[in-house]
């Protein structure tokens, strides 16, 4: 029975009947509602028989919470764009009662940017973070500092843009302690690994992915009701764990036309984490400390972690034992934007997944001298990553809206060179190279200590860079002659000690719109340091 049905039955029981009959009927109604409620929970738990079915079951479960309400409206740019803000109620989570994780109603700010002139019935939906509660548990909405230029993207493309905030809802309170971001994920990972079949719905990215689907529902309804516009499809984007949840939403929902995951360089997660920690001689980076706290990183090669990743890792949905619809949807156009100096991931993580992704329009781009966070502190602000991401989203949204054919690009990585073949002559080619004589470590920032960060700010005035490991650029000459296609061979500089990371960056002008992609990152020698 739906929540609305339960509500109607309960109200029926409140009619003006003989007292005895009324009491009997009221008790019957309470019993009926209780049975219906627990039947829903039972049905939700028994929807799946193995881990490959959990995502679909969770995302399709209707808890009756979904709704939205209007909050505010403003105009900008001389009334060329209207910005409407709604409060979205996406779900109740956890679905099943937990002693250590109280059930909460997830709420989100949903901000819709509506240009005066709309030429396309498609929307860019950006999944963002934020905060819904403070550390004391009081409701207090606070937006993320990583703000995309939604106004510019909407106006330049004559298409609506939607920002979904507060993914995940946080602070949450586990065991009466406030938790956020990776603290949420690490604890839920432990819960699932302790009992995968029983606790499958606790996997932390599931409610985040569901919030994305509910945001698409709300956006379609709002545009239909207020503008009589049928939004046909979405381009999804988001960074880090928001990018992860966006992946899961995209492979579940046919409304997603293309995706732009940002700093989410960890598909094929089991192999990727082994590779990350192995790159640092068996010591996982500090960025993974929440996962170390619950010994997740010690159990990467266990069946429990494999069961968890059967739910969480988008790459696993390519396997034959999953519904074939997942693999079909994963052929959608993709533009992956990663950081060459990511705190969480190593720059050659893509070797474990990128070339195996289905579809003909898969592009990757590594931002040079960039860290995982692209806005919010002096160091991340100094990298210029936010400006690069803004421009990339703006251009790629244009290409999807206008069905522009993009170049077919392939490459081969060697220890001493990178060979690139492009179906379109690029306007510019660059080589980016970083060397580390002592470690297989190319993180832009290697320590989070206050003293270290203070010293980086001081040295910035002398060196012009706050990074510990920096890439240098070199223009690459190439001659394609009169050919529209191009084969470019890029020699790598010799080095005598340590490790070298390098990648080629290709610039195109397509319909006078810039498009920048890179090869994957080549790290030589291809050996791990000894612990």
CB atoms within 10 A of CB 197: 13
For residue 96, is it within any domain? no
DSSP letter (8 states) at residue 71: E
Pair of tokens at residue 469: 């490991």
For residues 389 and 376, what is the distance between their CA atoms, to the nearest angstrom? 15
Listed range (246-255, 435-444, 482-491) with the worst mean pLDDT:
482-491
Helices and strands of the chain, counted as H and E runs: 14, 21
- Better-predicted residue by pLDDT, 531 or 217: 217
Listed range (11-25, 317-331, 345-359, 476-490) with the worst mean pLDDT:
11-25
For residue 123, is it within any domain? no
Is the pLDDT at 42 greater than 60? The verdict is: no
DSSP string for 299-355: GTTSHHHHHHHHHH-GGGGGSTTS-HHHHHHTTS-EEEEEETT-SSS-TTGGGGTGG
Helix/strand/coil (H/E/C) assignment for every residue in 111-147: EEEEECCCCCCEEEEEECCCEEECCCCCEEEECCCCC
What does the pLDDT look like over 371-415, one tens digit per residue? 999 988 888 888 899 999 999 999 999 999 999 999 999 999 999
Cis peptide before 171 (omega within 30 of 0): yes
- Better-predicted residue by pLDDT, 42 or 394: 394
For residue 506, is it within any domain? no
For residue 75, is it within any domain? no
Label residue 121 by pLDDT band (50, 70, 90): very high
For residues 341 and 344, what is the distance between their CA atoms, to the nearest angstrom? 9
For residue 38, is it within any domain? yes
What is the reported pLDDT for 484?
Answer: 80
- Better-predicted residue by pLDDT, 10 or 131: 131
For residue 208, is it within any domain? no
Best CA proximity match to 112, nearest among 165, 160, 178: 160
Pairing assessment for the beta strands 486-491 and 417-422 based on DSSP bridges: antiparallel
What pTM does this model have?
0.91
User: In the chain, pLDDT over 70 holds for what percent of residues?
Assistant: 90
Q: Which domain holds residue 29?
A: 3-46
Label residue 45 by pLDDT band (50, 70, 90): low
For residue 225, is it within any domain? no
Split into its structural domains, the chain has a count of: 1
What does the pLDDT look like over 344-377, one tens digit per residue? 999 999 999 999 999 999 999 999 999 999 988 8
For residue 12, is it within any domain? yes
Is the pLDDT at 460 greater than 80? The verdict is: no
Is the pLDDT at 509 greater than 50? The verdict is: yes
What is the reported pLDDT for 519?
Answer: 99
The set of long-range contacts for 281-286, using a CB threshold of 8 Å and a minimum separation of 24, is 281/439, 281/528, 281/529, 281/530, 281/531, 282/531, 283/531, 285/343, 285/344, 285/443, 286/343, 286/447, 286/448
Give 165's Cβ-side CA count (13 Å radius): 19
User: In the chain, pLDDT over 90 holds for what percent of residues?
Assistant: 82
How high is the mean pLDDT of the chain? 92
- Better-predicted residue by pLDDT, 457 or 132: 132
Residues whose CB falls within 8 Å of the CB of residue 126, separated by 6 or more in sequence, listed in order: 148, 150, 161, 162, 163, 164, 237, 238, 393
Whether the Cβ atoms of residue 273 and residue 297 lie closer than 8 Å to each other: yes
Pair of tokens at residue 181: 């971001």
């Amino acid at each position: 029975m739906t929540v609305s049905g339960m509500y109607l039955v309960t109200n029926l029981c409140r009619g003006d009947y003989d007292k005895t009959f009324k009491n009997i009927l009221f008790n019957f109604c309470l019993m009926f509602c209780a049975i219906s409620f627990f039947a829903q929970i039972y049905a939700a738990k028994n929807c799946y028989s193995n881990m490959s079915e959990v995502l679909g079951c969770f995302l399709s479960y209707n808890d009756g919470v979904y709704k939205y309400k209007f909050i505010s409206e403003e105009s900008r740019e001389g009334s060329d764009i209207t910005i409407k803000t709604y409060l979205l109620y996406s779900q109740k989570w956890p679905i099943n009662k937990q002693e250590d994780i109280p059930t909460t109603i997830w709420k989100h700010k949903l901000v819709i940017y509506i240009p005066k002139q709309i030429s396309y019935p498609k929307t860019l939906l950006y999944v963002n973070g934020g905060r819904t509660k403070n550390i004391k548990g009081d409701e207090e909405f606070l937006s993320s500092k990583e703000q995309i230029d939604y106004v510019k993207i909407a106006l330049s493309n004559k298409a609506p843009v939607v920002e979904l905030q507060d993914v995940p809802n946080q602070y949450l309170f586990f065991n009466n302690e406030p938790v956020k971001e990776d603290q949420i994920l690490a604890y839920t990972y432990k819960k699932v690994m302790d009992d995968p079949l029983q606790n499958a719905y606790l996997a932390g990215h599931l409610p985040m992915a569901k919030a994305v689907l509910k945001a698409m529902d709300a956006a379609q309804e709002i545009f239909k009701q207020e503008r009589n516009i049928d939004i046909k499809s979405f381009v999804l984007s988001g960074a880090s764990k928001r990018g992860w949840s966006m992946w899961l939403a995209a492979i579940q929902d046919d409304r997603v036309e293309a995706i732009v995951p940002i700093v989410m360089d960890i598909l094929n997660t089991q192999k990727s984490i082994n590779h990350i920690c192995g790159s640092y001689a068996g010591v996982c980076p500090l960025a993974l400390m929440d996962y170390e706290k619950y010994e997740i990183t010690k159990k990467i090669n266990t069946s429990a972690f494999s069961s968890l990743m059967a739910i969480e890792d988008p790459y696993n949905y390519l396997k034959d034992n999953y519904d074939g619809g997942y693999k079909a949807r994963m052929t959608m156009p993709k533009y992956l934007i990663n950081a060459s100096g990511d705190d969480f991931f190593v720059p050659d993580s893509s070797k474990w997944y990128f070339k195996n992704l289905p579809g003909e329009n898969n592009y990757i781009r590594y931002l040079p001298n960039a860290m995982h966070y692209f806005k919010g502190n002096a160091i991340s602000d100094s990298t210029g990553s936010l400006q690069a991401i803004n421009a990339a989203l703006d251009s790629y949204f244009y290409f999807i809206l206008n069905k522009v054919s993009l170049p077919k690009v392939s490459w081969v990585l060697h220890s001493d060179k990178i060979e690139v073949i492009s179906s379109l002559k690029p306007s510019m080619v660059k080589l980016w190279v970083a060397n580390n004589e002592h470690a297989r470590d190319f993180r832009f920032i290697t320590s989070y200590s206050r003293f270290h960060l203070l010293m980086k700010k001081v040295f910035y005035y002398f060196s012009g860079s706050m990074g510990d490991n920096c890439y240098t650029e070199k223009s690459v000459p190439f001659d394609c002659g009169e050919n529209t296609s191009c084969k470019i061979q890029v020699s790598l500089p010799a080095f005598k000690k340590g490790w070298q990371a390098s990648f080629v960056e290709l610039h195109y002008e397509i319909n006078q719109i810039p498009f920048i992609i890179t090869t994957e990152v080549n790290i030589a020698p291809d050996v791990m340091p000894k612990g």
